[in-house]
Amino acid sequence: MKRPNPTTLALALGVALAAAGIAAHAGEEAAMEKCYGIALKGKNDCKAGPGTSCAGTSTRDYQGNAWKMVPKGSCEKTPSPTSPTGYGQLEPFEEVAS
């Protein structure tokens, strides 16, 4: 019986590990959701409305169109002083005075 080439084994192991990592990452993302109105100034995960581009561009605390990724199911339990409900929202919202 011919012995396996060490390079072939290393390549196969690398592909298997990469595939496992991708699957784990996809599972983590599925367990997260965007939550609007909970990010502090400059601490949003991405897009924060007109005039902003992406992560870290929110201009004020609890901005209604800036979001953070949170564990699924926790957003609407997270306090937000600018939200009409007093908690984070799954969609952007018009802020109320805090």
Place of tokens 């939550």: 35
Give me the chain's average pLDDT, please. 79
Please tell me the predicted confidence (pLDDT) of residue 88: 98
Mean pLDDT of 69-77: 97
Q: List Cβ neighbours of 80 (8 Å cut-off, separation of 6 or more).
A: 37, 38, 62, 86, 87, 88, 89
Please give the Cα distance from 3 to 37 (Å, whole number): 60
